[in-house]
C-alpha cells in the first residue's frame, strides 16, 4: 500500500492535532515499514518547522505553490496523483477537492467544537470549519472519530451514516515511553522555577477550557497552600486569565509556562501531584491519558468524551460545581493513598490506548479500504 498524508499539522502544530499526526507517523514507520508513506506539505509550514525528523523528511513532498491554502485544498491533488498514492489520510477534519475515485480517502475528525461553542470562533472561521468538516465527511470513504462522543456528534450534527465511522482513539507520543530521572526533573525545576507539590494544567486558555474554576477552587482556605502550574502556548488568551487572577490571593501561586518544548512536557507531568482538566467540551482529552501514562492522577470535568479518555484513572466533577472541585483537589493533594489508587486503576484502563493497539487499528482500516 502507498498511503499519503496531509502533513501541515505534523510540521506546523504544537498542540494535540500535531501530536496526533506525529505519533501516527512515528508508529507507522516503526511497526509497518513494509508500506510506503508520503507526507504532503507546503513550504510555508515546512520551512521553519521544529519537527523535521529525518524519518519524516525523507518521505515528504514539499510544495512551493504561491498560495498555501489553495494548494492544500486543490493543487495538492496533483502531487498526490503523481506520487501514485492509493489511500489518502486527512489528519484533521479536512480532505482536498476532487480526489480521483481510484484513491481511497479517510479523514480523522477530532471534534466539532465550532458547533458546540460557536462563541469561541469568528463567523468566518465557523463557516469554514463547518463546510470543510461536512464536505470531508461526505467525500471520505471512511471516517476516524477519536471518541464515541465525536462519533455521536457527527451523527447528530452532520447526519453522517453510522457505518461510515470508525472510532479509533489517539495515543501518546513516543516521548511518554521514557523513564525520566530525578536529575532531569531537578534541571526542569531549576529552569522553570517550579514549586514543589503543584497541580498541573496543560492546554489552551480559551473560555471553553474553564480554567477559572480551578483558580476559584484554589482561593478556598483548604487549598490556600497549593500551587498551579499552567502549561500553554495559547498566547492569545493569556491576558484574559491573567486579568482574572489580578488582585486575587492565588496569583502568587500560579506559574505560567508559555514555551515548553514537547520533549520536556513529560518530565513536568512527572513532578505534578495531580492534573486538572476542567473543560466544558473535548473531542477526546489527550492530556488525560498523558497524565495517567506518567503516573499522575487526574481530576476531570464530567462531560463529552472525558470519561472515555480517563476511565477509572480520574475523579470526575461537574464543570461548575465549585465545592466539588475544592474537595477533589484537596483530597488528591492530601490523601496519598487515594491518589495512588486512582493511578493504579488508570494504568490498567489506558492499555486500550497503547501505541501498538491504536496503530494496528488504523492499519486494519487502511487494509480494508485497499481491499474494497
CATH of the domain at 247: 3.40.50.2000
Claim to verify: residue 141 and residue 6 sit in the same structural domain: yes
- Looking at the structure, tell me whether residues 145 and 225 fall in a common domain: no
59 and 94 share one domain: yes
- What pLDDT sits at residue 236? 66
pLDDT number for residue 259: 84
- Tell me: do 151 and 192 sit in the same domain: no
Q: What is the pLDDT of residue 235?
A: 64
Instruction: Please report the pLDDT score of residue 43 as a whole number.
Output: 94
**What pLDDT is attached to residue 68?**
86
DSSP labels, 308-331? HHHGGGEEEE-TT-HHHHHHHHHH
Place of cell 468566518: 124
Q: CB of 139 within 8 A of CB of 158?
A: no
Residue given cell 461548575 in the structure block: 320
My answer on whether 148 and 223 are in the same domain is: no
pLDDT beneath 70, residues of the chain = 235-236
Length of the chain: 372
Query: Do 154 and 130 belong together in one domain?
Result: yes
Q: Number of folded domains in the chain?
A: 2
Give yes or no for a contact between 278 and 319, defined as CB atoms under 8 angstroms apart. Answer: yes
Note whether 87 and 157 are same-domain residues.
yes
79-135 pLDDT, tens digit per residue, is 999 999 999 999 999 999 989 999 999 999 999 999 999 988 899 999 999 999 999
Answer yes or no: do 13 and 96 share one domain: yes
Closest CA to 289 of 346, 234, 242: 346
166 and 73 in a common domain: yes
Domain co-membership, 206 together with 148: no
Return the pLDDT at 134: 96
Predicted model pTM? 0.94
Same domain, 52 and 184: no
Predicted local distance difference test score (pLDDT) of residue 216: 96
- In angstroms, the CA 165 to CA 149 distance is 12
Range of the domain at 45: 2-171+354-371
* 211 and 115, same domain (yes or no): no
Buried/exposed code over 343-358 (b: 16+ C-beta within 10 A; e: otherwise)? bebbeebbeebebeeb
- C-alpha–C-alpha distance, residues 70 and 53, integer Å: 26
So what's the pLDDT on residue 109? 98
Q: In 3D, which of 365, 364, 353, 372 has the Cα closest to residue 177?
A: 353
Amino acid at each position: 500500500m502507498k498511503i499519503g498524508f496531509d502533513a501541515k499539522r505534523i510540521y506546523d502544530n504544537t498542540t494535540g492535532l500535531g501530536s496526533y499526526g506525529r505519533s501516527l507517523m512515528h508508529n507507522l514507520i516503526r511497526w509497518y515499514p513494509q508500506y510506503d508513506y508520503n507526507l504532503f506539505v507546503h513550504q510555508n509550514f515546512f520551512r521553519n518547522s521544529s519537527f523535521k525528523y529525518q524519518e519524516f523528511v525523507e518521505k515528504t513532498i514539499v510544495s512551493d505553490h504561491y498560495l498555501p491554502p489553495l494548494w492544500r485544498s486543490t493543487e495538492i491533488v496533483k502531487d498526490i496523483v503523481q506520487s501514485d498514492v492509493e489511500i489518502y489520510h486527512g489528519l484533521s477534519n479536512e480532505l482536498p477537492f476532487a480526489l480521483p475515485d481510484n484513491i481511497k480517502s479517510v479523514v480523522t475528525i477530532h471534534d466539532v467544537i465550532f458547533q458546540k461553542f460557536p462563541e469561541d470562533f469568528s463567523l468566518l472561521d465557523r463557516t469554514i470549519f463547518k463546510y470543510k468538516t461536512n464536505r470531508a465527511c461526505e467525500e471520505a470513504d471512511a471516517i476516524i472519530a477519536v471518541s464515541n462522543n465525536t462519533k455521536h456528534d457527527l451523527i447528530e450534527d452532520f447526519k453522517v451514516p453510522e457505518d461510515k465511522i470508525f472510532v479509533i482513539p489517539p495515543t501518546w507520543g513516543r516521548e511518554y515511553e521514557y523513564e525520566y530521572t530525578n536529575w532531569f526533573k531537578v534541571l526542569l525545576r531549576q529552569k522553570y522555577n517550579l514549586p514543589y507539590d503543584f497541580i498541573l494544567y496543560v492546554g489552551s486558555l480559551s473560555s471553553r477550557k474553564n480554567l477559572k474554576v480551578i483558580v476559584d477552587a484554589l482561593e478556598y482556605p483548604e487549598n490556600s497552600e497549593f500551587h498551579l502550574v499552567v502549561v500553554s502556548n495559547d498566547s492569545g488568551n493569556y491576558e484574559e486569565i491573567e486579568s482574572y487572577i489580578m488582585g486575587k490571593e492565588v496569583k502568587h501561586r500560579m506559574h505560567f509556562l508559555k514555551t515548553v518544548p514537547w520533549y520536556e512536557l513529560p518530565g513536568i507531568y512527572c513532578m505534578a501531584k495531580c492534573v486538572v482538566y476542567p473543560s466544558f467540551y473535548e473531542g477526546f482529552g489527550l492530556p488525560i491519558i498523558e497524565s495517567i501514562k506518567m503516573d499522575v492522577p487526574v481530576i476531570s470535568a464530567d462531560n463529552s468524551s472525558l470519561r472515555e479518555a480517563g476511565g477509572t484513572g480520574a475523579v470526575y466533577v461537574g464543570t461548575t460545581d465549585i465545592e466539588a472541585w475544592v474537595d477533589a483537589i484537596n483530597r488528591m493533594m492530601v490523601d496519598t493513598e487515594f491518589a495512588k489508587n486512582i493511578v493504579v486503576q488508570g494504568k490498567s484502563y489506558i492499555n486500550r490506548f497503547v501505541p501498538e493497539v491504536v496503530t494496528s487499528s488504523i492499519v486494519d482500516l487502511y487494509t480494508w479500504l485497499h481491499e474494497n
